[in-house]
Amino acid sequence: MKQLIRIAVVVSSFGALAITAFAGSETYSGKEMKQVAPAPAPECDYTWTGFYVGAHVGYGWGNADTAFNPLPNAVSFTDLAVQSLRPEPDGVIAGGQLGYNYQFWHCLVLGAEADFSWNDMSDTVRRSPFDNHAGAPFNGTLTAHQDYDWFGTGRLKLGFTPFCRLLLYGTGGLAYGDVHYRANSDFTPQGTIQYPTSFSETKVGWTGGAGAEYAITHRWSIKVEYLYFDLGDENRVANPVPVNPPFQVRYDFRTQGQTVNAGLNFHF
């Protein structure tokens, strides 16, 4: 009987050890960290949809090539060969803009904008002496001048948002401006005749460019923008002063330029 009791005690002891060993690998202290699912990425808290108004300031420079064409032709007009001067009007521009954007597909933005700028783009170029028909120097003076009083555009914009508050866009449309042209072929001191012209025109053409805009708050954004514009050509035929028929000079003016500006917009 005692032998059976000893055997039972031994068996029960081994059983308890086995249970303890097996359960040890599954025992928790209650202090382990619970696994937490990663937080979802925050959604964009900004939309570009809506109206806006703002102001800008920048710099503009132009191409105002002016051709001098003797009439009736260079052979008979022996004191002037066909030639050109290259004024490059430049200066500060400043003005305002208003527009509307519509954001779709989360990352694309379609918009329209109109802007208006007062500017100080101006340049005058002179050449003295200048070439006559035979290619020899002639002691007169050729003058070409171009300046802008104001400049405006009406454009469409198409852009995308590489991240929430940054908008990159291309733009293009109508350009218009008030341009003053002046030129003269002055044959003094070897003569007394001049061929002056001076006039202003409201020119209409096209513009295209690109820009970047960043929303610093829900109401305010800053931008930088580049535009190229072409307002077309102008020409005038100048009669001599004093009268000297049949000679005239035709001036052909180009009106092209570029602008870079920085701006601030308020979004409604």
Distance in angstroms (rounded) separating the CA atoms of residues 27 and 36: 21
Lowest mean pLDDT across 25-29, 38-42, 128-132: 25-29
The answer to whether residue 185 is domain-embedded is yes
The answer to whether residue 225 is domain-embedded is yes
Element (H, E) at 89: none
The answer to whether residue 205 is domain-embedded is yes
- 8 Å CB contact between 91 and 59: yes
Here the tokens at position 217 are 């708050």
Region 166-186 average pLDDT: 97
Amino acid at 57: V
The answer to whether residue 64 is domain-embedded is yes
pLDDT digits (tens, 9 = 90+) for 125-136: 999 999 888 888
Whether pTM exceeds 0.85: no
Strand 50-63 and strand 83-85: the pairing is unpaired
The answer to whether residue 110 is domain-embedded is yes
Region 96-120 average pLDDT: 96
The answer to whether residue 5 is domain-embedded is no
Here the tokens at position 3 are 């032998």
- 8 Å CB contact between 48 and 61: no
Residue 239 has pLDDT above 60, yes or no: yes
CATH number, domain with residue 177: 2.40.160
Lowest mean pLDDT across 75-79, 189-193, 244-248: 189-193
Strand 248-267 and strand 50-63: the pairing is antiparallel
Residues in the chain, overall count: 268
Helix, strand, coil abundance in the chain, percent, nearest 5: 10, 60, 30
**Tokens 């809506």 belong to which residue?**
50
Q: Output Rg (C-alpha) for the chain, integer angstroms.
A: 39
Angle at 126 between CA 125 and CA 131, to 5 degrees: 130
The answer to whether residue 29 is domain-embedded is no
Mean pLDDT, the chain, whole residue set: 87
Residue 72: asked if its preceding bond is cis (omega within 30°), the reply is yes
Here the tokens at position 233 are 């050509």
Distance in angstroms (rounded) separating the CA atoms of residues 222 and 97: 13
The answer to whether residue 8 is domain-embedded is no
pLDDT digits (tens, 9 = 90+) for 57-71: 999 999 999 999 999
Q: Which domain holds residue 214?
A: 50-267
Indicate the number of domains in the chain.
1
User: 239: which DSSP letter?
Assistant: P
Q: What is the dihedral of CA 149, 210, 165, 115, to 10 degrees?
A: 20
Share of the chain above pLDDT 90, in %: 74
